[in-house]
Amino acid sequence: MKFELENSYEVKDKILQSKIVILPIGAVEAHGPHLPLSTDTILAERLSELLAEKAGAFVLPSLPYGQVWSLRNFPGSINISNDSLISFLVDIGRSLYDQGFRTWAMVNGHLGNQVALKEAARVLYDEIPDFKVFYFFYPGMNAVVKDIRETKSVHGTYFHACEIETSIMLYLAEEFVDMERALNDVPVIDEAADFTPTPWETFTNSAVLGDATLATKEKGRKIIETALEKMVDMLIGGKTDD
């Protein structure tokens, strides 16, 4: 159910019937030559729609901007601060609770947002203990990736415009992927990058972290089906209409 398409005469009763709401959160940033700037937002939107169908939840209009400090100097990237994102999310959460929602799932498509999402959830937890807030970022994907990855990971945490993220896009939004332009770009990321601020232009010109040419829709399907199952289980205890 798309929240923005409801009307104020009927929405209150529908909120009370569900009490679960989902917010897709993405970013505007470089994703190489084969993926659009809004890749993270597109992924968050498509995954949120699938989750809403299984959980009987509302989907809010997407938040398309995120904290992209590491990629802010690449053409097309738009960065907002963690502080701005935290404040914005806390305000949204308070308003959702006032409207009658009791469970809020933030479905994040951009790893750089995760710190702000977690902090916003903590603020809301302290203020409104009976408001359950989740900050999802492909739960369960690490185990799946170990099985499907054909190349060694460039970094222990990051995946970006590579075999993995491109596979997820092929599964959820193939129409926005240009595989003819996919790159095999394997940068060397110094260990110090994990312990000091390091703009990505210091180790990559493309913003691609790995071999995107190896991406497949099937790999993306396995990641998404796992993440979806885990999110549904956390939201409603695994009970669906299926």
**In this predicted structure, what is the pLDDT of residue 238?**
42
Q: Which three-class secondary structure state does DSSP give residue 66?
A: strand
Find the distance separating the first CA and the last CA of the chain, reported in whole Å: 17
**In this predicted structure, what is the pLDDT of residue 155?**
86
| Contact status, residue 32 vs residue 45, Cβ threshold 8 Å | no
**In this predicted structure, what is the pLDDT of residue 157?**
83
**In this predicted structure, what is the pLDDT of residue 241?**
40
**Residues in contact with 239: Cβ distance below 8 Å, sequence separation at least 6, in sequence order:** none
Structure-block tokens of residue 189: 């990321």
Domain ranges of the chain: 3-236
What are phi and psi for residue 211, nearest 5 degrees?
-100, 95
Cα–Cα dist 88/158, whole Å = 25
**In this predicted structure, what is the pLDDT of residue 242?**
36
What does each C-alpha distance from 81 to 38, 43, 70, 75, 202 come to in angstroms?
Answer: 18, 21, 12, 18, 21
**In this predicted structure, what is the pLDDT of residue 7?**
97
**In this predicted structure, what is the pLDDT of residue 76?**
98
Q: Which residues of the chain have pLDDT under 70?
A: 238-242
The DSSP symbol for 176 reads G
**In this predicted structure, what is the pLDDT of residue 240?**
39
The DSSP symbol for 10 reads T
**In this predicted structure, what is the pLDDT of residue 82?**
97
Superfamily of domain 3-236 in the CATH hierarchy:
Creatininase (3.40.50.10310)
Amino acid occupying residue 235: L
